[in-house]
Amino acid sequence: AAALAAGEHCAREAATPAAAPAPAGAAERGAAPLETTWWGSATSFRLAALLEETHGRVAADKDFVQTCEECLKVLKEACSAALSKDEFRVQPFDWTPDVQLEAFGSTRQGTALLSSDLDVRMSFQQFDVHDSQRQIKYLKGIQASPGDRFKVMQLIEARVPLLRLVFDGWLQVDLSMGRAMEGAADGAEEDGEGVDRTLVAVLAAAAHAQAAAAAVRFVGLVKAFAKSWCVVDAHAGLPSSTSWCCLAICFLQMQGCLLSLYELFEAENGADGPAGKRRPRRQLWPVELTPELFVRFFAFVEQVGSRPHKVSLLRGSCRGRYWLSAGKSGGPPHPLFVEFPNARRLHYNIAKSLTPEGWQKAVGVCREARQLLLPKAGRPEADACGALRRVFEGS
């Protein structure tokens, strides 16, 4: 009964979108600021249909998936050839390392866009490479001989080195090194495989199959927004693609549309309920792509950006007043803590590479996007459609 009451509360709020940042503590309750007016039902219906059309244009299609698969095969051949030179020969065994590649990120999560990068992790069958300088050495070898179908864009010599390539003139490939439990290419040192599995699981556990598909489309549109407004790049101090995914999923959890990971685990494996009985799964609200939902999401990000917050997919919560020191000496707090979605690594921050300036830039564009989507007196429907396209496609 309490869960249903909470869901009804979320549904009533979802029908009334935000106009200004919420008072302190609202983000912790999943509440967004209130707005007294909104589009008429007919216009709102057409805008919702336009959102679906927009996702259809920006989401990855079968050709994109096939290109990614072909790219992986060609990249493995190119890497193997580049690292077969004498300088990479391992003594005294007199052999060169056998290359292994695996894709991770949006292509594994099912949230890829036509503009998405292909994140690839390289490792060797015979041994692991942990030292960043050794990783740079191998990446430089590939940089020197990328093959005919790849163009080298940049080698980023960061804590997690990254080689950026372009395949067949249009598909950007981010190549990093390490196995599943090591650093990811977006600079967050996250267990990419574990994060991908978790995000897929929580998105699939919606009210029903249609709601799960709508949740994936919502996350995809959030990523499209971040891409079109140039606020997704962990190496530039901006939120990573994974951070945006976690923010979107946490928002849906707080709206009563998705289960927390703890609830999902309890529903799948049973729980310590009365007399050992499995607790019934909480009723969820379906995800419906409407301008109101995105206005609420942008207001949610504004509120999270008002002071340090901790985002937890395990608990399905976002709590303020989380004061995380940036260093052992007691530096300034980190602007955003995105909790690693695994109980064994709760204290690891996926958004570790995010800078205060990069976070405030992202918060600022969310504020601008929210204002674009809000109705204004005398505003024609055509202007509203144009604003929607500008928010998600940058046009």
List Cα–Cα distances, 275 to 268, 270, 271, 278, 338, in angstroms.
18, 12, 10, 9, 36
Instruction: Give the residues across from 158 on adjacent strands.
Output: none
How many Å apart are CA 127 and CA 333, to the nearest integer? 38
Residue 43 and residue 384 in contact, taking contact as beta carbons nearer than 8 Å: yes
Q: What is the torsional sign of CA 292, 293, 294, 296?
A: positive
List Cα–Cα distances, 109 to 11, 117, 195, in angstroms.
27, 13, 9
Segments making up each domain of the chain, as ranges:
2-59+205-393, 62-109+117-177
How many Å apart are CA 339 and CA 191, to the nearest integer? 12
The residue ranges of DSSP E strands in 72-167, in sequence order, are 99-104, 118-124, 150-156, 162-167
Longest dimension (CA), the chain: 78
> Which stretch of DSSP H or E encloses residue 336?
strand 336-338
CB within 8 A of 115, min separation 6: which ones? 58, 224, 227
Tokens found for residue 309: 């917050």
The b/e string for 172-183 (b: 16+ C-beta within 10 A; e otherwise) is ebbbbbbbeebb
Angle at 191 between CA 185 and CA 193, to 5 degrees: 90
Residue 264 and residue 204 in contact, taking contact as beta carbons nearer than 8 Å: no
CB within 8 A of 20, min separation 6: which ones? 33, 299
How many Å apart are CA 334 and CA 309, to the nearest integer? 9
Kindly report the pTM of this predicted structure: 0.82
171 — phi, psi (to 5°)? -90, 115
The b/e string for 251-285 (b: 16+ C-beta within 10 A; e otherwise) is bbbbbbbbbbbebbebbeeeeeeeeeeeeeebebb
CB within 8 A of 364, min separation 6: which ones? none
CATH number for the domain running over 2-59+205-393: 1.10.1410.10
Of the candidates 269, 252, 63, the residue with the CA atom closest to the CA atom of residue 171: 63
Angle at 121 between CA 118 and CA 125, to 5 degrees: 145
Residue 53 and residue 89 in contact, taking contact as beta carbons nearer than 8 Å: no
CATH 3.40.50.80 for domain 62-109+117-177, yes or no, is no
> Which stretch of DSSP H or E encloses residue 172?
strand 171-177
Q: How many angstroms separate the first and last alpha carbons of the chain?
A: 45
Of the candidates 252, 360, 251, 240, the residue with the CA atom closest to the CA atom of residue 306: 360
pLDDT in tens, the chain (395 residues): 343 344 433 333 433 333 333 333 344 444 444 444 466 677 778 889 999 999 999 999 999 999 999 999 999 999 999 999 999 998 888 889 999 999 999 999 889 999 999 999 999 999 999 999 999 999 999 999 999 999 999 999 988 899 999 999 999 999 999 764 333 434 434 455 578 888 899 999 887 889 999 999 999 999 999 999 999 999 899 999 999 999 999 999 999 999 999 998 887 776 554 445 556 677 899 999 999 999 999 999 999 999 999 999 999 999 886 555 544 555 677 899 999 988 778 888 999 999 999 999 999 999 999 999 988 766 777 888 899 999 998 86
How many Å apart are CA 199 and CA 207, to the nearest integer? 16
Instruction: Give the residues across from 122 on adjacent strands.
Output: 101, 177
How many Å apart are CA 231 and CA 224, to the nearest integer? 10
What digits encode the pLDDT tens for the residues 315-372? 999 988 655 554 455 567 789 999 998 877 888 899 999 999 999 999 999 999 999 9
Quick one: 364 exposed, middle or buried, by C-beta within 10 A (0-12, 13-18, 19+)?
A: middle
Tokens found for residue 369: 């996007």
298 — phi, psi (to 5°)? -65, -35
